[in-house]
Structure formats: structure tokens, C-alpha cells
Amino acid sequence: MNIDIGSTGFMLLATSLVMFMTPGLAFFYGGLVGRKNVLTIMFQSFVSLGVTTILWFLFGYSLCFSGTLGHGDLGGIIGNLDMAFLRGVDLNGVSPVNPGVPLLVFVAYQMMFAIITPALITGAFANRIRFPAYLLFLVAWLVLVYFPFVHMIWGGGILASWGVRDFAGGIVVHTTAGFAALASVLYVGKRRSVDKGLHSLPLVALGTAILWFGWYGFNAGSEFGVDRITALAFLNTDVAASFAGPTWLLLDWIFTRKPKFLGFLTGAVAGLATITPCAGYVSTSAAVVIGILASLICYLAVHLKNKAGLDDALDVFGVHGVGGLTGSILLGVFATATMTFPGRDPALLTSGLLEGNVRFFLVQLVAVAIAAAYAFLFTLAMLWLINKVTPVRVSALVEQTGLDEGEHGETAYI
């Protein structure tokens, strides 16, 4: 195996950036909740670093990337256990998407995606979930929702065979997590105890900065090498976030008469989530439009959620779910096959609706509909089953005193 030193070095850096996003998410969520629940929401992110890694080693990677449609997987939905305990993952293995990069790097990079995805959901049921129930939820959701969708789209499964595209996780990560968040909110219900929330805007800003920084690894790294598309995905990521942040800020300014820092930060995250499935498939001009539409659509989604009285505490559905869904559909509109260069595999290119490819647009619509419905229904069923094993929701007393003290016997501030 001839190692591509540049691509391998870049992918190790991208892997580290994606790992850093999980602590960034912890800070982002930690600042948004009240002081008595800071450690709990942060802990829920951090614990995924350990639990998900264990699952990934035992069988997660194998279920995602062993077998393809008609060749050893289960109906194109989930892989097999041929690579359980990372069997066959050694110094001689090469990445399935870039033979110049070791398989070890591919395994690590994909693991970081698995770590942060269920952690995204925790913002929806903030201040309400018991830790034992969350651990069961974390394991069950990865096995029954995340692993199947990775296989179906990135592992050679049935959706990949239809021509579904998802550059860095608009469907696999954000749509599934967002609609799981919506199901969680409906199952768990509203908070009983009033929580002022947003106890530290500087923590939210720090978390946003880390997420934005890490997102370069999330999106640009998904090219899994260093070429022109890597640069395009990097630039598109920044452009979409940079247009989305001011758009949300402007909307806040219009409707609340105040320019809100939190609005800018929320808009930037919405832009990042929405450009994720498109980053390496669309032009930078399209990324501008996608960033603006991200804030317009996600802002409306959050407004409608609030009007409906849904207690999605940290707007996971409105920002990540709607953002991921929107970006995946807009990919079907803006994807362009004109971004070719010498050595570029034509099979990696696709055209969207604006280039006359109606079929691809419809395929993307069907894929996001399946992902949203699957994640929503399976999450509802999982929570119902978990509640039969151990209560999902904390007691009214613990909710009132705070989960940091009631669940973990710790406090963030003296």
C-alpha cells in the first residue's frame, strides 16, 4: 500500500476536528440550560465519547460497513458482523473510499460522526431524562437508527443504490437526530419546573466557535482526501454559516427590535447543518443561497414549534432536523455535475433540478421522508420500551432541584 501522506495527515486532522465538536456541543448546550442542569447536559455529550467508541469497536463499524446490497448485508439496510471487534482492521487495510489512506483512519473518522450524532438529540429533552434511561437510549438509538442509515447511504446499502447523496451527514446525522429529537419531546412531554435557561451566553459562543471550527473537518474531511472538492467543501461550509448567521440576526432584529448575539450564533449553526449534505456537490454561489434559506426556514420552524407549545428545549428539531432535511432537499436542486477536473471520478458527480435532473430531486425527497419517519417512529418505540425497563423521566423533585445535584451529586458552580 502506497500511503498518500498529505491526504492521510489531513484526514487525521479532520478526525481530530470532528472529535472536538462533541465537547463543543457540550459547551453550546451547557450555556443554553439553567445553572442547575449544566453538568447533566454536558455529561450526556461527553459520555457518548466512551460508550459509542465501545459499540463501534464491538460491532458498530461492522454493521455500518460490512457487506453491500446483495452481497452480505441484510436487505441493504444493515451490514453484518464480519468485522466485529475490528477484525481485519490492521496496518495493511486501505480506506474503501481512498486507497491512499489507511483503513485505520477511515474507521476513526467515521467513529467521530457516530459519537456526536446521538449527543445532538440531548438538547431536545434537556432537564428531564434520567441518566440510566439516557444510556439505554444512546445504545439503542445507535444500533436501531444511526447504524442502519450509515449503511444504507454510506455503506453501499439500498439508499446508495437509488442514487441518494449525502456529502457529510444531512440525512445520516442531522435529519435522523432532529426527528428523533421531535419524537423525544412528544414522548417525554414538557418540563414541569420553570428553567430560565441560557445561564451563560459566553459558553454558547465558545461552543459555537468550536463547532464551527470542527465543522471544517466534518465537511471538508468527508471528501476523504485532499483535492479541489476538499477546498470547495471547506469554503462552502464557511460561506453558508457566514450568510446564515446575519440572516437570523436580521430576523431577530426585525421581530424583537433587538440584534441578538444568540440569534447570530443559532443562525450560524443552522447554516452549518444545512450545508452539510451539499458541501462538496454545489457551487459557492449556491452555498450563499443555502445559507440564507437555512436561517429563513429554520427560524420559521422554531417559531412554529414555539407556537405549538412543543418543549424542544434547545431547538434541536428546528435547527438540526429541519436544517438537515432542508439541505438534503436543496442538494436535489443545486447539485452540479460541472465540478470536474483531471482524475475526478465521474461517478461522484451528479446534477440537480436546476440542471434538469428531476429524478435525483425526487430521490432526495423520498430519502429524507424515509429518514424522518424511520427516526421518529423508532425513537418513540425505543423510549416506550426503555420506560418499561427503567423510568425515562426524572421525578418532579429532581427536576425542581436540578439534575446536576439530583442525578449526579455534583454542581457546576459553588
240 alpha-carbon distance from chain centroid:
16
- Residue 284, pLDDT > 90, answer yes
| CA 25/CA 68 separation, integer angstroms | 33
Assign 3-state DSSP to the chain and report helix, strand, coil percentages, each to 5.
70, 0, 30
Confidence grade of residue 77 (pLDDT, cut at 50, 70, 90)? very high
- Residue 387, pLDDT > 80, answer yes
User: What's the Cα-to-Cα distance from 72 to each of 111, 142, 153, 164, rounded to whole Å?
Assistant: 22, 21, 16, 21
* pLDDT score for 301: 97
Residue with cell 432535511: 325
Q: Write the pLDDT tens digit of every residue in 16-42.
A: 999 999 999 999 999 999 999 999 999
Cell of 157: 446499502
- Residue 1, pLDDT > 90, answer no
Confidence grade of residue 263 (pLDDT, cut at 50, 70, 90)? very high
- Residue 347, pLDDT > 80, answer no
What is the CATH number assigned to the segment(s) 5-408? 1.10.3430.10
| CA 283/CA 310 separation, integer angstroms | 36
Smallest CA-to-CA distance from 87 within 73, 66, 68 is with 66
* pLDDT score for 170: 97
CB of 114 closer than 8 Å to CB of 49: no
> Quick one: three-class SS letters along 95-140?
CCCCCCCEHHHHHHHHHHHHHHHHHHHCCCCCCCECHHHHHHHHHH
Give CB contacts under 8 A, 24+ apart, made by 338-347: 339/228, 339/229, 339/232, 339/281, 339/283, 341/227, 341/228, 343/227, 344/227, 344/228, 344/229
Cell of 123: 438538547
- Residue 359, pLDDT > 90, answer yes
CB of 367 closer than 8 Å to CB of 171: yes
**Confidence (pTM):** 0.96
User: What's the Cα-to-Cα distance from 268 to each of 118, 233, 249, 294, 321, rounded to whole Å?
Assistant: 21, 16, 10, 9, 15
Confidence grade of residue 61 (pLDDT, cut at 50, 70, 90)? very high
User: What's the Cα-to-Cα distance from 76 to each of 69, 231, 236, rounded to whole Å?
Assistant: 4, 32, 31
User: What's the Cα-to-Cα distance from 375 to each of 156, 161, 188, 275, rounded to whole Å?
Assistant: 20, 20, 16, 21
* CA gyration radius, the chain: 20
Query: What distance separates the 2 farthest-apart alpha carbons in the chain?
Result: 65
* pLDDT score for 349: 73
Cell of 271: 447554516
* pLDDT score for 66: 96
| CA 346/CA 30 separation, integer angstroms | 44
Q: Write the pLDDT tens digit of every residue in 198-243.
A: 999 999 999 999 999 999 999 999 999 999 999 999 999 999 999 9
| CA 169/CA 150 separation, integer angstroms | 9
Cell of 336: 452540479
Cell of 371: 429518514
Task: Provide the sign of the torsion angle of the four alpha carbons 174, 154, 7, 220, taken in this order.
Answer: negative
* pLDDT score for 341: 75
* pLDDT score for 23: 98
What value, to the nearest 5°, has the Cα angle with vertex 13 and ends 11 and 16?
110
The conformation of residue 59, written as its DSSP 8-state character, comes to: I
* pLDDT score for 194: 73
The 10 Å Cβ neighbour count of residue 265 is 24
Q: Which residues pair with 72 in a beta bridge?
A: 68
5 alpha-carbon distance from chain centroid:
29
Confidence grade of residue 278 (pLDDT, cut at 50, 70, 90)? very high
In the chain, domain spans: 5-408
The mean pLDDT value for 298-311 works out to: 95
Cell of 80: 453484518
Cell of 220: 471538508
What value, to the nearest 5°, has the Cα angle with vertex 185 and ends 181 and 190?
150
88: alpha, beta or left, given left = phi > 0 and alpha = psi -120 to 50?
left
Lowest mean pLDDT among 6-20, 109-123, 327-341: 327-341
